[in-house]
A and B are shown apart, each in its own frame.
Chain A
Amino acid sequence: MALTKTEWIELEHKAAQLRQLTLDTCNWAGSAHMGGALSSADFLTLLYHKYLNFDPQHYDDPDRDRCIVSKGHIGVILAALYAQLGLVDKEDLKTFNLTGSSLGMHLDSNKVKGLEVSTGSLGHGSALALGDALAARVLGRPHKTWLLLGDGECDEGSVWEAAMATSHYKATDLITVVDRNHAMIDGLTEDVMALEPFADKWRAFGFDVLEVDGHHMKKLSQAMEQAMAASEKPVCIILDTVKGEGISFMAGDYKWHYGAMDSDKYARATEDLKEYEAKRVQRAEQEG
């Protein structure tokens, strides 16, 4: 299962393509939630293109693995991802956020084929994911359920209600992933509402915690495989990420939680993404 060098390089290209398509969509729409979209890009690429048992041709197969994206504001990258998977028409990305579009900034699962749930109000995905995992148990049709949370979202009490229940019900087929990009709308998480010691909080709620570089495909894939093998305790993977990763003027700037695009910025961002892809492929070739 471990990532081969070829696979790694291929995934780097996929991730680069996803980042570019996300930027394009933002450009067509005029603005988008770029920061948190880019911090999740590598995880989403690895999940959808390697680990998730999800066939876009049979997106409603009852035995498929599910991915519940609780940080619903990254609809822009999900739309791009689903376009990449062939579930959204690429042309439709040009209507993102526009009147009458099937694609709003928080995606509607009743309008996007294969999208598991509608999220946007934060702190909801955890319970939905747990519900799905328990349904699989009751119906005797096991599958993995992946849950992607934002870190700022973990201010919501409902995240911890569900965390408590996930470990109470030993839902080890549910894998929790937190995109720890350290930023939220009003500033850095530690300034707005401190989360640290974050990993300890998850451990205290009964999880095995894996902390991993969320922008390093190899390390990330190892963590994901370890989580998938868990059977004693549910696992929480904390992705150490950078908000706006890949675009120089966005990276690490919490103001790019949501931002407006213009032609100058778009040109610079496109250049940045190319450079970033080259660096990432180079790393894959060296370390792979």
Chain B
Amino acid sequence: MGGMNYTAVESTKMATAEIFGKTLVELGEKDPRVVALTADLAKSTKIGDFQKRFPERFFNMGIAEQNLFGVAAGMAKGGLIPFASTFSVFASMRATDQLHTDICYQNVNVKIIGTHGGTSFGQAGSTHHAIEDIAMVRSLVNLKVIVPADGYETANAIRAAYETEGPVYIRINRGFDQTVYTGEHYGFQLGKGVLMTEGDDVTIIANGSCVFQAIQAARVLEYDYGIHARVINLHTIKPIDREIILQAVEDTRRIITVEDHTVLGGLGTAVGEVILDSGHACAFRKLGLNDCFSAIGFHEDLMHINGIDTENIVKAAVHMMQHAQVVEMESGGRVVKAVRFEGRDLEAEIDWTDEV
């Protein structure tokens, strides 16, 4: 059958996450101070829509990320609201000093859109995988960090960034995200996690492309095992939503974090910090890259290899259910909840007979 092989051009035509570009145009219509900048990635980062609509407010800095961020900071100082877009891996590391000094230290109104986050540009290899970007930018003072789960949330994040004074870093994927929302009106709030599914056995906290995987994992856990998993989309890593995390600790005592990122310094670390700080005990597992570079390949395959797809989340949750049990204990005359680790057999049997 002819034409089964996809070329880059056709893939671009089919990409769904052009919402970023469209939302930026919408903001540009509303506010003449909104300008867009990129470093030779106008098409790749979908900022090109803005270029078409507002050529006089679009600035391509060439392949010069330091200049991109420096100029954006200068523009913000001059009264504009610049959206600077490049790949996450470059946004977080190719000009970190400019991000730190020109943007964060001076606390200027620059919005950074890091595209091709995580391993979403899988085939491009480790030079183009952004698996440390959140760890990098999370430590920067004044910077707010958002990792939206799909196109709708990206639109919300872009608008929230515009409405919030000061620097914001938004990490979005290459464009083939599965959608987890049916529209934009689900109550997005910067700094507030979203409860995606209810459940009291185990909590899966995810962001970005891992939210879809976590929701599917919750369905499988329910269908195959009768395990009720709570799924939280923690789209904002900074400032972090302590309340929703601690409520999950209180209710489920089992927390699994999932991120398309190294487990050092990203979502899992941020959630772990909140839990440690609270003094509450729980079983805790971080899913992500374990201090290694990713293989090269399709994003969906890499998510499996890197242990952050539906199947691996299910495995982690089942393992945790087997080994970490929530028990009530008496302590000083009152009943407290504790986690006890022990073996418990949970093996789903699969019928591999084809239906006829």
Contact = CB atoms under 8 A, between A and B. Distances in A.
Direct contact of A and B (CB under 8 A): yes
B62 interface: yes
Contacts of B82: 131
Nearest to B35: A138
A124 B70 CA distance: 6
Interface in B248-306: none
A126 B77 contact: no
B235 to A, nearest CB: 29
A269 interface: no
A158 B67 contact: yes
Contact of B77 (A116, A161, A168): A116
Nearest to B110: A131
Contacts of A120: 101
Given A120-B101, A169-B59, A135 B79 contact: yes
Given A62-B79, A138-B56, A138-B57, A130 B71 contact: yes
Contact of A118 (B69, B79, B106): B106
Nearest to A122: B97
Interface in B65-81: 66-67, 69-80
Given A121-B97, A128-B102, A158 B70 contact: yes
A131 B75 contact: yes
Interface string B46-60: 000000000011010
Contact of A135 (B67, B69, B80, B102): B80
Contacts of A66: 78
Interface string B291-327: 0000000000000000000000000000000000000
A158 to B, nearest CB: 4
Interface string B95-110: 0011011100111000
B66 A157 contact: yes
Nearest to A127: B70
B64 interface: yes
A145 to B, nearest CB: 9
A8 to B, nearest CB: 33
Interface residues of A, number: 35
A110 interface: yes
Contacts of B32: 138-139
Contacts of A169: 59
Contact of A132 (B78, B97, B105): B78
B24 to A, nearest CB: 15
A139 B32 CA distance: 8
B74 A135 contact: yes
Main secondary structure of the interface of B (DSSP, over half): helix
Contacts of A164: 62, 64, 67
B41 interface: no
Contact of B101 (A68, A118, A139): A118
B61 interface: yes
B106 A165 contact: no
A109 interface: yes
B188 to A, nearest CB: 29
Contact of A131 (B56, B64, B70): B70
Contacts of B72: 131
A119 to B, nearest CB: 8
Contacts of A124: 70, 97-98, 101-102
Contacts of B102: 117, 124, 127-128
A136 interface: yes
Given A121-B101, A162-B67, A135 B62 contact: no
Contacts of A126: 67, 70
Given A124-B98, A124-B101, A127-B102, A132 B74 contact: yes
Nearest to B100: A121
A158 B74 CA distance: 14
A127 B107 contact: no
A131 B98 contact: no
Interface string B19-39: 000000000000011010000
Given A126-B70, A164-B64, A135 B101 contact: no
Given A118-B106, A120-B101, A165-B64, A132 B70 contact: no
Given A131-B73, A139-B80, A161 B66 contact: yes
Contact of B74 (A110, A118, A128, A139): A128
Contacts of A119: 101
A131 B75 CA distance: 4
A135 B97 contact: no
A127 B67 contact: yes
Interface string A49-91: 0000000000000100010100000000000000000000000
A138 B57 CA distance: 7
Contacts of A117: 73-74, 77, 102, 106
Interface of B: 32-33, 35, 56-57, 59, 61-62, 64, 66-67, 69-80, 82, 97-98, 100-102, 105-107
Given A66-B78, A68-B74, A121-B101, 8 more contacts: A117-B77, A130-B71, A134-B59, A135-B78, A138-B57, A158-B67, A158-B98, A162-B71
Interface of A: 62, 66, 68, 108-110, 116-121, 123-124, 126-136, 138-139, 157-158, 161-162, 164-165, 168-169
11 contacts: A62-B79, A109-B106, A121-B101, A127-B67, A127-B71, A128-B73, A128-B102, A138-B35, A161-B61, A162-B71, A164-B62
Q: What 4 A-B pairs have minimum CB-CB distances, sorted nearest first?
A: A131-B74, A127-B70, A135-B78, A161-B67
